Amino acid sequence: MIDAHPLERAVGVERYASSTPGTGGRLRESPGDFRVREIEDFAAEPAGESAGDYPHVVVRATLTDWDTNGFARALSNRLGISRERVNWAGTKDKNAVTTQLFTVRAIDPGDVPDIRNAEVEVVGRAGRNIQFGDLVGNEFEIVVRDPDRPENANGITDELAAFGGQSTDAVAASAETADAGRSVAAPNFFGQQRFGSYRPVTHEVGLAVVRGDWEGAVLAYVGNPSEHEPPETRAAREFVEETRDWSAAIEEFPGHLRYERTVLNRLAENGGESEADFRAALETFPSNLQRLFVHAAQSYAFNRILSERMARGLPFSEPVEGDVVCFADADAPGDLTIPDPDRLQRATSERVSVLSRHAERGRAFVTAPLVGTETDLADGEQGDIERDVLADLDIAPSDFDLPGEFHSEGTRRAILVRTDIDVARDPLTFTFALPKGSYATVVLREYLKTSPLDL
C-alpha cells in the first residue's frame, strides 16, 4: 500500500487502497470542472397551494462557486429573514457547480430574489422543511486537469474493483469491456473537506468539546495557525494565542473570518475567563456548525479505525467474526444502494458466512462506529481496533452526552463505498454517483494520489 499525503494523515487517513501510481493532476481548476447534482427523496406540492398547509417554499438552486452555508446566508439576508428558516439536505463545497433543493419557511414564492452566480427555480411548496434524511445521494461529473499519467486510471480501476470484492477473473472480464460502467469500491473515509482542506482543525474543536474542554475548543478554532494560511491570518491567530486579549484580537482578524470575529466578540463581552464563557462563545455558531464540530470528531475517529483495519489486512468487502454489519435500504429510491445503519446485525461465528454472502451481493456492508452515547462497539479484532482508537483519543461513548446541539447519540457507517464509474479521456473525466454521506474526493484520491489541496 502507498502511504497517504501528510495532510490526509492529519485527519486519520493513513494510506491508499490501490498501489498503482496516481494519474496526478488537479480538480476544480474552474467551478465547471466539478459538477454535483443532488438526488433527493422529497416531494413538493404546486406553488399555488395554501401557505397555511404548506408553509415552506421549495426552490432548486444551481450554484456556481457558492458553498451551501454561504448561499443560505445570502438568501436569508436578501429576504430579510433568519438563516434558520432556510434548510437543505446536503452541504456542498465552494468552487463547484452544484444543484440542490432548499426550503424557505414563511415567504411568498414571488419574493425569491435574484442572487449572483445562482439559478434559482421555485419548485413548489411543502408541509415541512427539507432535512438531511431526504438526501439519497449525489451524481458527479468531474474533470481532472493536467494529469501526468492518465493511462494509470485503468490499473487503478482494476485494483479498486478487486478491493470491492470482485474476483481476479471478474476484474479481468470487466476490464475487457472498457472503462464505462466499471464497478469499483474504496474505503469510505470522510474527505478532507469534513475537517478543513487548508487548515484541518474542525475535528480538534470537536474532540475538545467531547472532552469537556470548552476553552481548548475555542482556541483550536480562533488560534491554532496553519502554514497553509495567508501571513496576516497566521499572525492574527498567533496574536490571540499569545495575548488572549479578545477585544484587541478582533481588529487583528481579517473581515472575511466572520466566525472567528463573532466568537471573539462574545468573549470580549462576557470576559472569556470561565468554561461557561467559552461554551457561550462556541454557541454563537449556527446550530448546524455546532453539530459539525462533534461530527468531525466522530469522523476523525472513524477514519483512524478504517486506517487501522487496512493496516491489519482485514477485508472491507466482507465481514469477519465480530464485525457489525448493516443491510441495504430496501426502500431507497433510484438506482443507488444505500446502507441502512438502523438495520444492524453482529457477525457471530454462526452468522458470518451468511452475512458474507449478503455482502458479496451488495445487500450488506461492514460498519464502523460514528461513536456517540448509543453506539455499540464491535467484537473480535474489529472491536479491539475501535476500543484502541477511542482510548488513544481519550474519549468514550458516554462523553457525547453533551448540551444542546453538541449532543450526539452516534450511529454506525459502512466502511466501503461502491459505485459504477465511467472514465473518459481528453480531458480525463470521471462520472459516477455515490450514496449520501460519501465523498467524491475519497474515490478520486485513489486515482490522482496527490495533495488533498489539489482535490
Q: Which residues are catalytic?
A: 93
Contact criterion met (CB below 8 Å) for 421 and 430 = yes
273 by DSSP, 3-state: which?
A: coil
Contact 295, 273 (CB under 8 A): no
Q: Would you say the C-alpha torsion 60, 66, 68, 73 has a positive or negative sign? A: negative
Q: Which of 372, 385, 376 is nearest to 320 (CA)?
A: 385
Angle of CA points 337, 197, 209, to nearest 5°: 85
Q: How many CA atoms are closer than 13 Å to the CA of 374, on its beta-carbon side?
A: 8
Q: Nearest to residue 266, comparing CAs of 274, 277, 257?
A: 277
Name which of 341, 407, 340, 405 is nearest 372 in CA terms.
Answer: 407
124, 103 in Cβ contact below 8 A? Answer: no
Written as one letter, the residue type at 152 is: N
3-state secondary structure of 182: strand
CA distance linking residue 135 with residue 435, whole number of Å: 9
- Mark 59-89 as b/e (b = at least 16 C-beta within 10 Å): bbbbbbbbbbbebbebbbeebebebebbbbb
How far apart are alpha carbons 17 and 165 in whole angstroms? 12
Instruction: Count CB atoms within 10 A of the CB of residue 175.
Output: 15
Give me the amino acid identity at 338.
I
Interior angle at CA 20, CA 14 and CA 25, nearest 5: 85
